[in-house]
Structure 1
């Protein structure tokens, strides 16, 4: 094959952005780039920018939602940087910067108390909610940013309440420590999702470069803002609310743009309910659009996964009821309004998905008892609850296999999950055995 006067000996490309060809010319091999010369010059600048701020191999090395997420994440980081400047100025004013009567010792003590309470808050939050940050990364990511804005608002107001200044800044310090844990952990979870070539370190490093560039831009703008807002409470609050609205909007758009292909409880519930309704399997994009991104409390009966055996059954009779209609390596039970799942050590990912499907169905039945009168009429009685459990096994026997094939065909990753399992694993025996 000849092109441009020479035979094409080979072609090569760098990712999906650049392509080159090797031509035979006068007995020598000449390497030229495909595309017009003007495009080459313009693309050189873009190429340098990409190599500095985007992961190697972009866009093939990242998830499809990467660019949209990073755009909104950059916008929220910029607005947060400006809000942080206003909060920092207020905090410095509160500890006595510019006040001749303030002492270094008092300011240092206030700062140390704020940092100390923040450290304790960080430890306690990681202990209580650390396992939730993987399975509900979107919710906790948005929660962290809302809490961060609340903390900065408290720091801005603190100088106007001198008698409570230390208490306010310490509380804000606790909030910011929680933000640090939740924000950092959920960012790591999102990086795992975005990394399509096991390039989490590269994506994380380039994300840091992007954030540094944004903070630098925010610093330059802050140098202009500081002289304007000094001793002007109305302008300070007005700008803070403006930046906060922009920050929260950008964060909402950022988490909404993320399309995860792995199941957590919310996404599995959305896909399962749609399937049971009309046999239609939602794609990852459709399910992620319906997934709630705000923390919800008490809307459905809670589900506890990987619990102890005594959380499911407390007698031989209950164990026999739990094993009735059940040939799976897990047990389900309803206790104190919660759906509890006890997992066996040999359970596979497929078994875990099926168990959560049953738990989700039971949770919906408990939350909406009027939708199934024959089953839910004796719901407060033990036999009625076990009847629901037995029906859930029959429902899964009839629907789970085609459901699982459908979700895999729709693009869901069923080799791993983000379901929030605890670590208890139980081997049970029937009375006869």
Structure 2
């Protein structure tokens, strides 16, 4: 204990980074006093807002990019809410709202068909692309928002094509169902990144509160817009274009604000190639800024990880050549049908996964530079890339361990096939 100008100090406490208080004995009473600059953090509208809409322990309980991402995400959600109002009004007009000749049964049937096709689209998309959403969350987040804008644009235009109205509205329903899967799944992946205290549920709940608040604001603005856009197609299209541009810009800024410390294919390629060329490790911020988020048509050979053995080997000679070093490096690698294919051996570690991916990235780069089309050329490039990996991989992993990069897990898109070599062919 210490005695100061306010009496004998008994204890002190702090609430995160929000404030610091001292407890002092003054006569027969214990008094609590705020120390340092600033007002009380436990009262006031500002603190009520923080407790309602931000995770407990903010900012220490979340990633450093949380606030910037949420600000841009809020902006895009507001624009999307306004665009959705325009699309909804157009859809209602298309199914006959306000038209005395339209029947309730026809409108109901249209809505049921739209919802039914959307449900099928949701199932099919989750089946085909579900495993990609974790490893490429940024790219699929942008994809979802672009597709959502396309779907709303189709809903606005559908009323002008009554003959094809049902087809257009059902297609838009499929697109929106895909948006629901991709948007929800990638948001969950980003929540995993943002959570720093195993507080995913809290972050997700507060994100829902933020989105609800934004939608309420959007509804209020929409009430002002509806009288202006009713029976005014040019103004509807103009406002929709404006909101869409702002929506897409905000989404791009939001995903660019995310700084993930876990490797996916794109981030690992950026960091690995820079290390091979300069023997320097890029920081997570530098790599995330260089990560492509529109790499849909890169023109390079795709990399397929964790494939079945039959997808890679078609002859005893190929098996003998691939397994020559396979036991030591815990994976097999080759080129098949224009793709770099990797088979992972049973018992391979996360480090083996990193090494296999670095090998595949080096092989793809050599393929792109040499433009080899014959199988013999491919084997030479496999050997050349192997030497490159053996030279740089150990220093690369040692350097990563000294940075903020996470190396005990990864977001590489591995399939589930694992092989066990019994013996080598003769």
Report if TM-score (shorter chain) is over 0.5. yes
SS in 1 for 2:341: strand
Distance 2:420 2:39 in 1: 66
Asked whether the equivalents of residues 115 and 173 of structure 1 are also in contact (C-alpha less than 8 Å), the reply is: yes
Structure 2 counterparts to residues 202-217 of structure 1, below 5 A: 202-217=202-217
Aligned pair partner of 1:399 in 378, 383, 392: 392
Distance 1:11 1:313 in 2: 68
Q: Name the residue aligned to 1:151.
A: 151
Asked whether the equivalents of residues 272 and 357 of structure 1 are also in contact (C-alpha less than 8 Å), the reply is: yes
Q: Name the residue aligned to 1:419.
A: 412
- Measured against aligned partners, the alpha-carbon deviations of 1:14-35 in whole angstroms (never above 9, x if no partner) come to 1111221111222443222224
Distance 2:299 2:270 in 1: 14
Shift of 1:368: 2.1
- Measured against aligned partners, the alpha-carbon deviations of 1:75-119 in whole angstroms (never above 9, x if no partner) come to 000000000000000000000000000000110111111001101
Q: Name the residue aligned to 1:344.
A: 345
Asked whether the equivalents of residues 256 and 289 of structure 1 are also in contact (C-alpha less than 8 Å), the reply is: yes
Distance 2:420 2:350 in 1: 18
Structure 2 counterparts to residues 60-139 of structure 1, below 5 A: 60-139=60-139
Shift of 1:183: 0.3
Shift of 1:234: 0.7
Query: Number of residues paired by the alignment?
Result: 424
Distance 1:272 1:395 in 2: 11
- Measured against aligned partners, the alpha-carbon deviations of 1:312-346 in whole angstroms (never above 9, x if no partner) come to 22222212211234411111111111111101121
Q: Name the residue aligned to 1:373.
A: none
Distance 2:30 2:47 in 1: 25
Shift of 1:42: 9.8
Shift of 1:407: 1.9
Distance 2:174 2:219 in 1: 25
Q: Which runs of 5+ in 1 are unaligned?
A: 371-378
Shift of 1:11: 1.2
Shift of 1:415: 0.8
Distance 1:39 1:18 in 2: 9
SS in 2 for 1:409: coil
Q: Name the residue aligned to 2:235.
A: 235
| TM-score (norm: length of structure 2) | 0.96
Shift of 1:432: 6.8
Distance 2:425 2:41 in 1: 80
Asked whether the equivalents of residues 19 and 40 of structure 2 are also in contact (C-alpha less than 8 Å), the reply is: no
CA RMSD of aligned residues (A): 1.5
Distance 2:296 2:200 in 1: 30
Q: Name the residue aligned to 1:261.
A: 261
Q: Name the residue aligned to 1:200.
A: 200
Q: Name the residue aligned to 1:282.
A: 282
Distance 1:43 1:403 in 2: 50
Asked whether the equivalents of residues 304 and 340 of structure 2 are also in contact (C-alpha less than 8 Å), the reply is: yes
SS in 1 for 2:348: coil
- Measured against aligned partners, the alpha-carbon deviations of 1:228-265 in whole angstroms (never above 9, x if no partner) come to 00000111001000000000000000000000000000
| TM-score (norm: length of structure 1) | 0.95
Asked whether the equivalents of residues 18 and 41 of structure 2 are also in contact (C-alpha less than 8 Å), the reply is: no
SS in 2 for 1:160: coil
SS in 2 for 1:339: strand
- Measured against aligned partners, the alpha-carbon deviations of 1:123-146 in whole angstroms (never above 9, x if no partner) come to 110011000000000000001000
SS in 2 for 1:414: coil
Structure 2 counterparts to residues 180-191 of structure 1, below 5 A: 180-191=180-191
Find out whether 1:226 has 2:226 as its counterpart.
Answer: yes
Distance 2:425 2:377 in 1: 25
Q: Name the residue aligned to 1:384.
A: 377
Shift of 1:71: 0.0
Which is worse superposed, 297-306 or 38-47?
A: 38-47
Which is worse superposed, 293-302 or 130-139?
A: 293-302
